[in-house]
Amino acid sequence: MNTNHQGGLALMRATWLSWMQHRSFFFILAFGWMMQPLIFMFVWATAAGDQTVGGLTRGEIVAYYLTLILVNQITYSQTNWTVGDLIRGGDMNRLLLLPMSPLYNTLAAELAGKVVYLTFVLPITVGLALLLKPEFNLTAVSLIAFLPALLLAWLLRFLWGYALALLAFWAARADALLAVQDALVFLLAGQAAPMLLLPPLLRTLAVILPFRYMVGFPAEVLTGQLDAAQLAFGFAMQIGWLAVTVLLYQLMWRRGVRQYTAVGG
Amino acid sequence: MNNAHIEVQNLSKTYRVPQRQSGLGAALRSLARREYTEVTAVSHLSFAIQPGEMVGFIGPNGAGKTTTLKMLAGLLHPSGGTAVVAGYTPWERRPEYLRRISMVLGNKSQMLWDIPPLDTFHVLGEIYGITPTDLQQTVEELTAVLDMGDLLTKPVRNLSLGERMKCELVAALLHRPSVLFLDEPTLGLDVSMQRRLRQFIADTNRRTGATMILTSHYMADVAELCPRVVLIHQGRLLYDGLLGQLSDQLAPFKLIRLALDRANGEGEWRHRLPEGTAVLDPDPANLTLRVPRRETSAITAYLLNTLPVVDLSVENPPLEAVIDQIYQEAAV
């Protein structure tokens, strides 16, 4: 890969500047992404009532879902949807001319976007927390472990999505796979229901496949749903899947660029 | 030709294009089995370009000019053949190579849309690792020449096409490339802007000694900028040499201009023209005929003998007419 952090950083600053001009667009996007977890939070919180569901009280479910909303916002890689357009529309040409991997361009957009829409999501989540009275059982371990879990989750979700998006080098409408990816994340990454509430078969799938490690895992870490062994296992899976994804990305990129037809002027 | 800056041998590119009839049935069938046709965009192209040379690629739409440029700029992998540019194989896409070249695409922008050009220049400065002092100096130099001081702080999306093209050229030159690929740099610009940019490109070539390849459909661009042209047609090289000699070699006809004596039966000239002669301008004071190149001298002698000729000259047809003729015929 053509590493050029200096250039990437400059690109990120510039992208951020240009995106700040479309703040409201990002706010609306972010609002849309919050809806699903919010709905499922109310479903499960209502189901719990004054008792517990799967060992979780109403307050714990609210805490879990509020964390999930934040984790989902931070890890969701909306820019991967535009990678296919870059390739199909021929805009990849100008990125390929620069002495810098085009991955930086997507990464810059990704980070710039996050800064913009977190200014919207953070206050709303805090507001919801004040209203809905979540029960956080925070410990030193869960607090310390949360940050690396979150970082790995984002890296995994971003790079996995990017590698899938590179399929556009071969197939014109490869982003259908990104939609499948979103559906799997919804089902298996703790959005439709926390891991603890999944039926055994789905839970096994969730533990093995990469999707839980993109969203659900950091939320489980912060809300203290995991014991030490589960925590260690989760990190091992995150790192393992990330390694697989890096290889997948490299393979897709090398093959894809050879295949590229550089359409349009 | 060991000192050539760009050396291309047998370069070929074949695209696989999915083939499908229109309609739903065909769409469904193509899901199960795709049919491809092979399209040859470039076929066994060979040429060498010396350092500092400025070469024009000409040819009709779809001739393979842009495909060739894209291979040389490392955007495309060829299907066959070799190319060495400034000592590198372009499609290996080494950062050291990409730092030495630049490409201006007339219909694709390098500028970031929502922010002023100056900001894009700074980003490019960081990407190419240009020191702030160097960058500032280069920007000041180039923007002064192009007279664009007040454009630098407006968002790019508010600029006119001509203003944006100035920015594209500055952006392409910031890192002082030694090889510059210009693909239709004057596309869609008005005549005076075209002239302006042409002048700038010529100056840049003289000042920096960069090797340049230019494609353009405006013959004025090529005629003014490029002493040497490479004519590509249907992916093959038809001509490589001086622009001035292109008509000599490729035009199958010449123009004869004559003025007839008005007092002496000018009205009958039409009946006395030999076969194979086309009348381009019927005004007897400036009668212009197109005649087959091989028969030029015979026809000239015949005209002098049979018509009341006051003045006669034989010329090569204008370049545009030659090119048009070549483009229309499948092969020369």
Task: Confirm if A209 and A217 have CB atoms less than 8 A apart.
Answer: no
Helix axes B117-128, A5-19, angle to 10 degrees: 160
**B214-238 mean pLDDT:** 90
Calculate how close chain A gets to B118, using CA atoms only, in Å.
11
Which one is predicted more confidently, B1 or A73? A73
Burial letters for B321-332: b for 16+ Cβ neighbours within 10 Å, e otherwise?
bbbebbeeeeee
**B273-302 mean pLDDT:** 86
Q: Which of the four pLDDT bands, split at 50, 70 and 90, describes residue B332?
A: very low
**B89-98 mean pLDDT:** 95
A262: which chain B residues are within 8 Å (Cβ-Cβ)? 70, 75-76
pLDDT at residue B235 greater than cutoff 80:
yes
Asked if B79 has any chain A CB less than 8 Å from its own CB, the reply is: no
Q: Which pLDDT tens digit goes with each residue over B171-195?
A: 999 999 999 999 999 888 889 889 9
User: Tokens 């952006």 identify what position?
Assistant: B171
Q: Which pLDDT tens digit goes with each residue over B108-149?
A: 888 888 889 999 999 999 999 999 999 999 999 999 989 887
Q: Does residue A250 fall inside a structural domain?
A: yes
- Helix, strand or coil, per DSSP, at residue A230: helix
Among A16, A25, A93, which would you mutate to test the B interface (most chain B Cβ atoms within 10 Å of its Cβ)?
Answer: A93
Calculate how close chain B gets to A182, using CA atoms only, in Å.
24
Please tell me the least confidently modeled range out of B97-106, B264-273, B301-310. B264-273
Among A13, A26, A98, which would you mutate to test the B interface (most chain B Cβ atoms within 10 Å of its Cβ)?
Answer: A98
Which tokens go with B131?
């020191």
**B282-290 mean pLDDT:** 85
> With an 8 Å Cβ cutoff, are A96 and B112 in contact?
no
| Backbone conformation region of residue A102, classed left if phi is above 0, alpha if psi is from -120 to 50, else beta | alpha
Q: Which of the four pLDDT bands, split at 50, 70 and 90, describes residue A221?
A: very high
Q: What ipTM did this prediction achieve?
A: 0.82
> With an 8 Å Cβ cutoff, are B77 and A100 in contact?
no
Counting Cβ atoms within 10 Å, is residue B132 exposed (0-12), middle (13-18) or buried (19+)? exposed
pLDDT at A84: 86
pTM given for the model: 0.83
Q: Which of the four pLDDT bands, split at 50, 70 and 90, describes residue B31?
A: low
Q: Which of the four pLDDT bands, split at 50, 70 and 90, describes residue B280?
A: confident
Calculate how close chain B gets to A31, using CA atoms only, in Å.
24
Q: Using CA coordinates, name the residue in chain B closest to A86.
A: B108
**A9-32 mean pLDDT:** 83
**The total number of structural domains that make up chain A:** 1
pLDDT at A263: 64
pLDDT at A1: 64
Which tokens go with B6?
């760009």
Among B126, B156, B184, which would you mutate to test the A interface (most chain A Cβ atoms within 10 Å of its Cβ)?
Answer: B126
Residues of A with CB under 8 A from a CB of B: 2, 4, 6-7, 9-11, 13-15, 17-19, 21-22, 90-91, 93-94, 96-100, 257-258, 260-262, 264-265
What percentage of chain B exceeds 90 in pLDDT?
48
Q: Does residue A265 fall inside a structural domain?
A: no
pLDDT at B331: 46
Domain range for A16: 5-258
Q: Does residue A96 fall inside a structural domain?
A: yes
Q: Which residues pair with A135 in a beta bridge?
A: none
Distance CA A68, CA A217 (A): 9
Asked if B78 has any chain A CB less than 8 Å from its own CB, the reply is: no
Burial letters for A107-134: b for 16+ Cβ neighbours within 10 Å, e otherwise?
bbbbbbbbebbbebbeeebeebeeebeb
Which one is predicted more confidently, B246 or B235? B235
pLDDT at residue A162 greater than cutoff 90:
yes
B92: which chain A residues are within 8 Å (Cβ-Cβ)? none
pLDDT at residue A265 greater than cutoff 50:
no
Q: What is the mean pLDDT of chain B?
A: 87
Task: Confirm if B171 and B124 have CB atoms less than 8 A apart.
Answer: yes
Nearest CB partner across the interface for A93, out of B105, B126, B127: B105
B184: which chain A residues are within 8 Å (Cβ-Cβ)? 265
Q: Does residue A54 fall inside a structural domain?
A: yes
> With an 8 Å Cβ cutoff, are A260 and B93 in contact?
no
A16: which chain B residues are within 8 Å (Cβ-Cβ)? none
Q: How are beta strands B309-315 and B253-260 bridged, if at all?
A: antiparallel
Element at A31 (helix H, strand E): helix A23-48
Asked if B119 has any chain A CB less than 8 Å from its own CB, the reply is: yes
Distance linking the first and last C-alpha atoms of chain A = 25
Distance CA A226, CA A201 (A): 19
Q: Does residue A264 fall inside a structural domain?
A: no
Which tokens go with A104?
């930086």
Q: Which of the four pLDDT bands, split at 50, 70 and 90, describes residue A163?
A: very high
Q: What is the mean pLDDT of chain A?
A: 89
CB atoms within 10 A of CB B26: 11
pLDDT at residue B237 greater than cutoff 90:
yes
Q: Does residue A209 fall inside a structural domain?
A: yes
Please tell me the least confidently modeled range out of B10-24, B196-210, B228-242. B10-24
Task: Confirm if A167 and A252 have CB atoms less than 8 A apart.
Answer: yes
Residues 6 or more apart in contact with residue B324 via CB below 8 angstroms? none
Q: If you count residue pairs, one on A and one on B, with CB atoms under 8 Å apart, how many are there?
A: 92
B109: which chain A residues are within 8 Å (Cβ-Cβ)? 94
Q: Does residue A129 fall inside a structural domain?
A: yes
Asked if B122 has any chain A CB less than 8 Å from its own CB, the reply is: yes
Q: Does residue A263 fall inside a structural domain?
A: no
**A140-150 mean pLDDT:** 94
Highest mean pLDDT pick, A100-114, A232-246, B181-195 = A232-246
